Amino acid sequence: MSDAAVSRPSPALHSDRRAFLDFVARHSRLLLTTHINPDGDGLGSEVALALWLRSQGKQVRVLNDSVVPHAFAFLARHLPLESWEPERAEQLFNESDALIVLDTSNRQRIGRVAEVLARHVMPVAVVDHHVTHQRGFGQVNVIEPEASSTGEIVFDLMREAGVPLTPEIAEALYVALMTDTGSFRYSNTDSHAHHMAAELLANGVDPQRLHSQVHTHASAGRLRFFGEVLSALELLDDGKVVVLEASPEQFQRHGLSGSDTEGLVDLPRTIAGVEAVALFSEVEPGKVKVSLRSTGRVTIDDICARLGGGGHAHAAGVLLRGTRADARAKVLPELSRKVAALGAVSAQRFA
Ligand code: AMP
Ligand code: MN
Ligand code: MN
């Protein structure tokens, strides 16, 4: 198999891979960050990139707004993944020459790290795969929406730079790829994702072990909470739209936080005939996290982008202030319109 089959060619429109490699060559003290409530892709990409840059003799630090969820704590055994602490944040910025932002191209999504960045003049490079905010806010932006995960872009960059894959780097990249593709089930899974997985396995990854390391951290309360929310699911628009709601009282009673809803919105996609799922998750009174998913025929990122959020064509989110009823009123009419338009198209086709 040729290398060309494994590496996705650099897409001319969004990506500046060469500029990124020059950027890291120019700086010797690098600070890495990712989005708030980090996931396997943000954290796995950070660890892989940090280990790569450290092997080049660079000083690398990682600072995120939020703490590392238990499921990904094992990734931090190679290097500290620090979370927000104001004085330490100032110190890390003072001791770094450049910032690399992974898995978001939206400045607000790095949370409190953005506030420190506003006070420090520092060159920024962005590596991301989201469709929204495609221009990025870095001097260098490697934004490739066709990539399944940011980890996949880091993998391609490493291949272009001729960096060897160590078992530790392969493990971090596999976590990124596995989590963002829903274990190779979502529409972003393509041959490149599978080729990449094969190469990671050839470099020491044990897929079964990593899968269970990431997916065996739930509490019994979390499963009871899922059960409660799912048993109250609503079917709208002739069963094409599923709506789920979670209240602050439910989060509190089961001892859960916002990141515990991970995976919940994906479950109703298994219902026959469903086109889209909306989860309105009110962790604290007056703050509603909306998660939208499409089963592939409608695009939903534009609904979230219009309200200030973003994501991908078939998986997107936004945080809204107000009640769950307010959030539903902002999101559901447009979702219904999109699903109804699909019906009109199919009806035309069969007429
Ligand atoms: P979630 O529903 O939180 O699992 O997010 C689905 C996708 O949308 C992920 O790729 C997120 O990065 C993205 N996303 C979620 N919330 C936001 C937001 N407030 N702004 C921008 N992107 C978001
Ligand atoms: Mn992410
Ligand atoms: Mn991602």
| pLDDT, tens only, 182-229 | 999 988 999 999 999 999 999 999 999 999 999 998 899 999 999 999
Quick one: pLDDT at residue 136? 86
Residues 96-126 as b/e (b if ≥16 CB within 10 A, e otherwise) read bebbbbbbbbbbebbbbbbebbeeeeeebbb
Structural tokens at position 95: 């001791």
pLDDT in tens, 301-340: 999 999 999 999 999 999 999 999 999 999 999 999 999 9
305 lines ligand 1 (CB under 6 A): no
What is the Å distance from ligand 3's center to 42 Cα? 6
Q: Identify the band that residue 14 occupies on the pLDDT scale cut at 50, 70 and 90.
A: low
Residue of 142, 106, 204, 121 whose CA lies nearest to 18: 142
pLDDT in tens, 260-283: 899 999 999 999 999 999 999 999
6 or 284, greater pLDDT: 284
The answer for residues whose C-beta is within 8 angstroms of residue 93's C-beta and 6 or more apart is: 31, 116, 117, 119, 120, 122
Atom nearest to 35 CA in ligand 1: 12
Cα 170-210-100 angle, rounded to 5 deg: 45
Q: Is 212 exposed, middle or buried (0-12, 13-18, 19+ CB in 10 A)?
A: exposed
Helix 167-180 × helix 207-215 angle, to 10°: 60
288 lines ligand 1 (CB under 6 A): no
pLDDT in tens, 44-103: 999 999 999 999 999 999 999 999 999 999 999 999 999 999 999 999 999 999 999 999
Say which residue the tokens 């939206």 belong to.
106
Longest dimension (CA), the chain: 67
pLDDT, averaged across the chain: 93
Contact by Cβ (8 Å): 269, 185 = no
The answer for residues whose C-beta is within 8 angstroms of residue 279's C-beta and 6 or more apart is: 243, 244, 245, 246, 261, 264, 265, 289, 290, 291, 292
What is the Å distance from ligand 2's center to 293 Cα? 15
Residue of 104, 125, 134, 87 whose CA lies nearest to 36: 104
Helix (H, G, I), strand (E, B) or coil at 269: helix
- Distance from C-alpha of 78 to C-alpha of 276, rounded to nearest angstrom: 39
What is the Å distance from ligand 2's center to 39 Cα? 5
Q: Which amino acid is it at 175?
A: V
Quick one: pLDDT at residue 273? 97
> For a pLDDT cut of 70, what percent of the chain falls above it?
93
